[in-house]
Amino acid sequence: MGGAAEPQPSGKGGKKAMDAAINLVPYIDLLMTIMTFLVMTAVWTQIAALEVQNASGNAPQEPDPNDKPPPALFVLVSSTEVKVQEEGKEAKVFPNVDGVVDRVKIGEDLMRLLKDVPERHDVKVKSEPDVLFENVAEVIDIATGTCIDKNQRDTCLYQITLNPV
């Protein structure tokens, strides 16, 4: 087992066959070794990280006096709803659907607010004490994924702050 086809004379007049016998045994051995290594080192659980900065307690960075920062964007998470509010404006309320935050509508609203002020990069997420982390993580995830152009980080809401209400 494990050899390629035996060379057969293909031409007339005793011409030399062009087919060559290839021994497949080392090739199969190599594949088996690679497979064993890969199966033994395989990581089946795919994980990712959601970064929050300057979370509860840390002093905020000193703003540049020449810079006029865009109006702050707040996302307030409670156990029944999520409120999205731009500083100085009225909050929009998104009730949870079956106990889970309304990902699509919140995403659309954040995108609208980002397009209004493209130089905005930070979102202040505030959560009530009894909110489950899976809902907070969902909101952070939505905010992190809000980008005008996914390939350019400067067009995203990448600076997420997490604080209690």
Nearer to another protein, 14 or 44 (CB): 44
Go through 42-51 and write b for each residue having 16 or more CB atoms within 10 A of its CB, e for each that does not.
eeeeeeeeee
Nearer to another protein, 100 or 117 (CB): 100
CA distance 165 to 159: 18
Q: Are 11 and 4 in contact (CB under 8 A)?
A: no
Residue 60 burial (CB count, 10 A): 7
Q: Give the nearest distance from C-beta 95 to another protein in angstroms.
A: 18
Point out which residues bind another protein (CB under 8 A).
1-6, 21-22, 24, 27-28, 31-32, 34-35, 38-39, 41-58, 77, 100, 127-134, 136-138, 140-142, 144-145, 162, 164
Q: Give the nearest distance from C-beta 63 to another protein in angstroms.
A: 18
Nearer to another protein, 52 or 71 (CB): 52
Which tokens in the block code for residue 43?
């990581």
Nearer to another protein, 71 or 147 (CB): 147
In sequence order, the 6+-apart residues with CB closer than 8 A to the CB of 130 are 79
Q: Give the nearest distance from C-beta 19 to another protein in angstroms.
A: 10
Q: How far is CA 42 from CA 28, 29, 45, 47, in A?
A: 21, 20, 9, 13
Q: Give the nearest distance from C-beta 158 to another protein in angstroms.
A: 10
Nearer to another protein, 71 or 83 (CB): 83
